[in-house]
């Protein structure tokens, strides 16, 4: 199936050292696996070292290459700075940072405690800014080029009820992506983002569609192309954006959602529930022969 096929030619990422936050699970792991296949070395980080170690071994067994697992809670600047030094200690330098770690859950906003709201802001916005600042300062000081790729969501610009802390934080990450694309381009640092639509992962599905919700709200039904995403489709775009083929792409956010947000955003999109007979009646009522 072509959706599950890699798109870039072999060796496209050879020589690149790529750090992925949240790289031991879900989409981070899928993107990492493809980067490895294309010749990169990886550093994968998150809070759970056991999960990272198991994923690193799996990825190396499957793809070859080198994967360094490092525990790091992105909410702690001390842990982020230590992780950055450890990553450089192993590979000498890091060329690409993929800010992918996130936390999220659904809840009516008025039911959220301040701590719950702040937890999501801290992981997504503060965590991404701490990793970005640590890497960016070092790249600038070392006069080294670098690339940021940040995973956001389409509700970063539309907003969305029931995931308000996540929407606010992802909007901040998107603003940071575009701002630094301009400010840090003079140092040879590019910043881009990807906004995925629904891609099945244990982490997102269990938190955003808990219990029976997954049966009631089939995510595929909201997508005009009628399906959810394949991980490789996302990995193909990510690999392009961290490769040198995209050297002239800077400050961009690429949406890969099968048209989901446009359908959800249009006020009259739900008229696709109107049956043909009713359209016939409406046409007839304005005098057109059907
Ligand atoms: C309301 C909740 C809650 C929930 C936790 N809290 N879950 N409030 N509804 N479902 C509250 C807690 O009561 C607590 O507040 C505060 O949040 C912190 O909770 P902890 O469990 O102590 O936090 P922590 O252990 O740091 O875990 C963080 C987490 C957890 C975000 C709550 O779910 C997690 O570790 N997530 C990481 C992975 C993840 O979320 N992946 C999905 C990304 S998907 P109080 O006041 O009680 O102390 C994604 C998709 C986007 O982003 C778009 C899809 C289309
Ligand atoms: P996931 O598997 O739950 O990924 C989240 C990762 O972040 C986990 O590996 C988690 O590992 C890590 N993480 C969470 N809190 C952290 C912290 N404080 N410090 C460091 N790492 C932390 O879910 P996913 O679906 O693959 O999501 C990956 C990215 O895609 C996220 O940015 C998400 O917002 C985005 N996204 C996903 C979808 C989708 O449909 N799946 C859609 C739009 C956007 P630990 O628990 O070990 O820390």
133-182: pLDDT as tens digits: 999 999 999 999 999 999 999 999 999 999 999 999 999 999 999 999 99
Residue 122 has pLDDT above 60, yes or no: yes
Average pLDDT of the chain, as a whole number: 95
Domain-located, residue 33: yes
Domain-located, residue 290: no
Distance 287 CA to ligand 2 centre (A): 55
Domain-located, residue 2: no
Distance 211 CA to ligand 1 centre (A): 16
Domain-located, residue 1: no
Q: Is the CB of 227 under 6 A from ligand 2?
A: no
Q: Please give the pLDDT value at position 201.
A: 96
Rounded mean pLDDT, 215-237: 93
Residue 290 has pLDDT above 60, yes or no: no
Full residue range of the structural domain in which residue 225 is found: 11-285
Q: Is the CB of 75 under 6 A from ligand 2?
A: yes
Q: Please give the pLDDT value at position 289.
A: 62
Q: Please give the pLDDT value at position 271.
A: 77
Mark 57-85 as b/e (b = at least 16 C-beta within 10 Å): eebeeebebebbbbbbbbbbeebbbebbe
> Closest-lying ligand to the alpha carbon of 101?
2
Q: Which helix (H) or strand (E) holds 193?
A: strand 189-196
Domain-located, residue 152: yes
Domain-located, residue 6: no
Q: Please give the pLDDT value at position 280.
A: 86
DSSP 95: -
Residue 239 has pLDDT above 80, yes or no: yes
How far is 193 from 242, CA to CA, in rounded Å?
A: 10
Query: Residues 77-112: pLDDT tens digits?
Result: 999 999 999 999 999 999 999 999 999 999 999 999
Domain-located, residue 79: yes
> Closest-lying ligand to the alpha carbon of 198?
2
Q: Which residues surround ligand 1 with Cβ inside 6 Å?
A: 102-105, 107, 112-113, 115-116, 119, 153, 166, 198, 203-204, 207-208
Pocket probe mutation, ligand 1, options 23, 116, 257, max atoms within 8 Å of Cβ:
116
CATH number at residue 169: 3.40.50.720
Rounded mean pLDDT, 55-70: 97
How far is 19 from 45, CA to CA, in rounded Å?
A: 8
Domain-located, residue 4: no
pTM exceeds 0.75 for this model: yes
The burial class, CB within 10 Å (0-12 / 13-18 / 19+), for 152 is: buried
Domain count, the chain: 1
Pocket probe mutation, ligand 2, options 102, 163, 205, 209, max atoms within 8 Å of Cβ:
102
Contact 227, 258 (CB under 8 A): yes
Q: Please give the pLDDT value at position 2.
A: 85
């Amino acid at each position: 199936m072509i959706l599950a096929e890699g798109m870039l030619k072999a060796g496209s990422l050879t020589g690149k050292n790529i750090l992925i936050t949240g790289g031991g699970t879900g989409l981070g792991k899928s993107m990492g696996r493809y980067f490895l296949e294309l010749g990169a070395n990886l550093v994968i980080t998150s809070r759970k070292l056991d999960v990272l170690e198991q994923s690193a071994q799996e990825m190396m067994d499957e793809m070859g290459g080198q994967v360094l697992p490092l525990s790091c809670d992105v909410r702690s600047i001390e842990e982020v700075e230590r992780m950055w030094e450890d990553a450089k200690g192993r590979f000498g330098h890091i060329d690409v940072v993929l800010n992918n770690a996130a936390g999220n859950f659904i809840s009516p906003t008025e039911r959220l405690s301040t701590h719950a709201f702040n937890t999501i802001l801290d992981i997504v916005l503060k965590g991404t800014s701490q990793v970005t600042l640590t890497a960016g300062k070092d790249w600038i000081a070392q006069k080294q080029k670098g690339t940021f790729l940040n995973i956001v969501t389409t509700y970063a610009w539309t907003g969305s009820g029931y995931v308000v802390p996540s929407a606010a934080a992802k909007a901040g990450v998107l603003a940071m992506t575009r701002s630094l694309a301009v400010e840090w381009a003079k140092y040879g640092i590019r910043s881009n983002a990807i906004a995925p639509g629904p891609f099945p992962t244990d982490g997102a599905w269990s938190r955003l569609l808990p219990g029976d919700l997954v049966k009631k709200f089939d995510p595929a039904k909201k997508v005009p192309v009628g399906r959810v995403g394949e991980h490789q489709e996302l990995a193909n775009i990510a690999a392009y954006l961290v490769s040198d083929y995209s050297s002239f792409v800077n400050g961009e956010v690429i949406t890969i959602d099968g048209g989901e947000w446009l359908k959800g955003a249009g006020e009259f999109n739900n008229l696709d529930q109107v049956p043909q007979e009713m359209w016939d009646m409406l046409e007839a009522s304005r005098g057109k022969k059907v």
